């Protein structure tokens, strides 16, 4: 028993270090309205664990926790929260509390919190900030959503190109405020243009009189301030960056982006594509019942329309269905298998488009490969279902019909799973949002039409 308990204690908890015992202790303190006990428990938690704890609580419990810790709230908690949870928490803070929290955050995190507020609330909070922070945040918020300007932080280290290594080290040591995490020192000219970067590890290994120019990487990737965040994530992935300078329209250095922020973008992008493929507009784990219901209604309605279209196709073959009841039993197999095959191809295609592995330049090769895979799988499954149907109904012509329909629909699934996301991407429509419903429509209609059409041709024309 002791061994089992030891093993269980070593298991990772789904929310970081928030154990069931910790959650139970917090809930007990809330139920007993013991503010002192709750404060002792919560104030010892790191920001990451407190964020996890807030995610595990109901909205009512979150508000009760905030009432206890609002005077000692670690501002780093706010950027770690899911959007809907952060919005719920921010609504409970007054302007002064929000301004104090934002003052202690780096620019990129402060912008993330400010985005939760409406314009009037943003103006009130900005007016409560010191002038330099207010101007920096106002500029960052002026950039378009999903742009590098919203992602960057304005805290960075930049030095003139004519400095030596020792001067840079002394300058960094003398700074009263430094970025929370930085990996490179940026080298700029007199106009403020970024000439290159010097990795910290290189700076600390050379002689003190070494010129900065001799140390810098002058081919470093630069990020325009208006670049889309997805493009930023691709550049970091493509070139293996840990940080990059951000330039304004005049190519002056205005900020930097670090890998931790890009990881968040990659995670958000992956999550977004996953839920879109499932027919959900956005992740809604923490959203309330009404918003979740409304957000899912649209795609359920679209799916209803595609189902009606598939039923309309079936209606053309009522005589065959009346003559051979077996067709009604077997036809869902063809459509279902085609739908699954189409979803498999679609997942690979959407991922390829997101990572830029798939484009119109190699689309033909991918299309041929997927169509071949569909044909081969179609033949294999045609043999299986054909033998099954033949022995079941003792009618080998039905076996031929379902076998041919299986091959046709799996090839159609591969073609639809490839071409639909490519065409949507060409039309500047996110393929992760609309592709799934369209591919399902194609495989359903093609599956029913091929199966019932072949049955009409081969079974009823006697």
Domains and CATH numbers, the chain: 14-147 (1.25.60.10), 158-260 (3.10.580.10), 289-459 (1.10.357.20)
Per-residue model confidence (pLDDT) at position 310: 86
Confidence grade of residue 13 (pLDDT, cut at 50, 70, 90): very low
Answer whether 425's CB lies under 8 Å from 353's CB. Answer: yes
Name the CA radius of gyration of the chain, rounded: 30
Residues 6+ apart with CB under 8 A from 246: 148, 149, 152, 222, 223, 224, 225, 253, 254, 255, 256, 257
DSSP class of residue 144 equals P
Mean pLDDT of 75-102: 88
Please name which of 88, 129, 85, 93 lies closest in space to residue 111, comparing C-alpha atoms.
129
Distance in angstroms (rounded) separating the CA atoms of residues 132 and 446: 62
Per-residue model confidence (pLDDT) at position 295: 67
Per-residue model confidence (pLDDT) at position 85: 87
Please name which of 27, 20, 33 lies closest in space to residue 67, comparing C-alpha atoms.
33
Higher pLDDT, 273 or 173: 173
Mean pLDDT of 362-369: 92
Other C-beta atoms lying within 10 Å of the C-beta of residue 334: 30
* The length of the chain, given as a count of residues: 462
Query: What angle in degrees, to the nearest 10, is found between the helix axes of 83-90 and 59-69?
Result: 50
Higher pLDDT, 223 or 270: 223
Percent of the chain with pLDDT over 90: 27
Per-residue model confidence (pLDDT) at position 287: 63
Confidence grade of residue 453 (pLDDT, cut at 50, 70, 90): very high
- Give the three-state DSSP class for 223: strand
Mean pLDDT of 247-273: 84
Per-residue model confidence (pLDDT) at position 428: 83
- Give the three-state DSSP class for 225: coil
Distance in angstroms (rounded) separating the CA atoms of residues 114 and 108: 10
Answer whether 222's CB lies under 8 Å from 231's CB. Answer: no
Per-residue model confidence (pLDDT) at position 409: 94
Per-residue model confidence (pLDDT) at position 278: 60
Confidence grade of residue 347 (pLDDT, cut at 50, 70, 90): confident
Per-residue model confidence (pLDDT) at position 44: 80
- Beta-ladder partners of 199: 184
Residues 6+ apart with CB under 8 A from 402: 330, 333, 334, 382, 385, 386, 389, 451
Of 64-78, 236-250, 258-272, the range with the lowest mean pLDDT is 258-272
Distance in angstroms (rounded) separating the CA atoms of residues 74 and 165: 36
90 pLDDT more than 60: yes
Per-residue model confidence (pLDDT) at position 273: 64
Per-residue model confidence (pLDDT) at position 257: 92
Confidence grade of residue 264 (pLDDT, cut at 50, 70, 90): confident
How would you list the strands of the sheet with 253-258, edge to edge?
223-224, 243-247, 253-258
223 pLDDT more than 60: yes
- Beta-ladder partners of 217: 197
351 pLDDT more than 90: no
Percent of the chain with pLDDT over 70: 90
Residues 6+ apart with CB under 8 A from 314: 321, 331, 448, 452
Mean pLDDT of 167-191: 87
Higher pLDDT, 211 or 19: 211
263 pLDDT more than 90: no
Burial of 139 (0-12, 13-18, 19+ CB in 10 A): middle
Confidence grade of residue 372 (pLDDT, cut at 50, 70, 90): very high
302 pLDDT more than 60: yes
Per-residue model confidence (pLDDT) at position 21: 86
Per-residue model confidence (pLDDT) at position 6: 33
Confidence grade of residue 442 (pLDDT, cut at 50, 70, 90): very high
Per-residue model confidence (pLDDT) at position 460: 73
10 pLDDT more than 60: no
Q: Are strands 253-258 and 243-247 parallel, antiparallel or unpaired?
A: antiparallel
Please name which of 252, 172, 235 lies closest in space to residue 244, comparing C-alpha atoms.
235
Mean pLDDT of 241-267: 89
Per-residue model confidence (pLDDT) at position 284: 56
Give me the chain's average pLDDT, please. 85
Mean pLDDT of 179-199: 88
């Amino acid at each position: 028993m002791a061994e089992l308990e030891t093993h269980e204690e070593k298991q990772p908890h789904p929310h970081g270090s928030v154990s069931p015992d910790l959650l139970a202790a917090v809930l007990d303190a809330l139920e007993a309205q013991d503010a002192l006990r709750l404060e002792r428990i919560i104030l010892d938690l790191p920001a990451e664990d407190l964020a996890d704890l807030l995610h595990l609580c109901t909205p009512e419990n979150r508000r009760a926790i905030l009432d206890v810790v609002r005077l000692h709230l670690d501002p780093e908690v706010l950027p770690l929260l899911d959007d809907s949870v952060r919005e719920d928490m921010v609504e409970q803070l007054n302007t002064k509390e929000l301004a104090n929290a934002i003052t202690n955050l780096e620019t990129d995190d402060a912008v993330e919190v400010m985005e939760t507020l409406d314009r009037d609330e943003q103006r009130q909070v900005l007016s409560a900030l010191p002038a330099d922070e207010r101007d920096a945040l106002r500029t960052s918020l002026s950039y378009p959503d999903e742009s590098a300007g919203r992602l960057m932080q304005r805290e960075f280290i930049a030095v003139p190109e004519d400095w030596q290594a020792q001067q840079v080290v002394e300058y960094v040591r003398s700074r009263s405020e430094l970025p929370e995490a930085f990996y490179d020192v940026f080298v700029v000219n007199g106009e403020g243009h970024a000439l290159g970067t010097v990795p910290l590890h290189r700076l600390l290994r050379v002689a003190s009189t070494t010129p900065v120019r001799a140390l810098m990487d002058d081919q470093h990737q630069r990020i325009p301030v208006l670049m889309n965040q997805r493009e930023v994530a691709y550049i970091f992935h493509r070139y293996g960056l840990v940080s990059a300078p951000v330039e304004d329209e005049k190519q002056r250095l205005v900020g930097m982006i670090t890998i931790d922020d890009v990881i968040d973008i990659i995670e958000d992008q992956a999550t977004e594509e996953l839920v879109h493929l499932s027919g959900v507009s956005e992740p809604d784990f923490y959203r309330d019942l009404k918003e979740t219901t409304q957000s899912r209604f649209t795609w359920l309605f679209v799916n209803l329309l595609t189902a009606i279209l598939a039923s309309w196709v079936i209606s053309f073959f009522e005589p065959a269905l009346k003559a051979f009841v077996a067709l009604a039993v077997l036809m869902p197999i063809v459509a279902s298998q085609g739908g699954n095959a189409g979803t498999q191809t679609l997942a690979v295609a959407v991922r390829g488009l997101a990572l830029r592995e798939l484009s119109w330049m190699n689309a033909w090769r991918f299309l041929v490969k997927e169509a071949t895979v569909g044909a081969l799988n179609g033949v294999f499954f045609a043999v299986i279902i054909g033998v099954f149907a033949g022995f079941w109904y003792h009618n080998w012509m039905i076996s031929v019909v379902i076998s041919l329909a299986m091959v046709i629909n799996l090839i159609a699934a591969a073609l639809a799973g490839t071409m639909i996301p490519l065409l949507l991407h060409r039309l500047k429509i996110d393929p992760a949002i609309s592709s799934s419903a369209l591919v399902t429509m194609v495989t359903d209609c093609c599956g029913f039409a091929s199966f019932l059409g072949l049955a009409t041709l081969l079974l009823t024309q006697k």
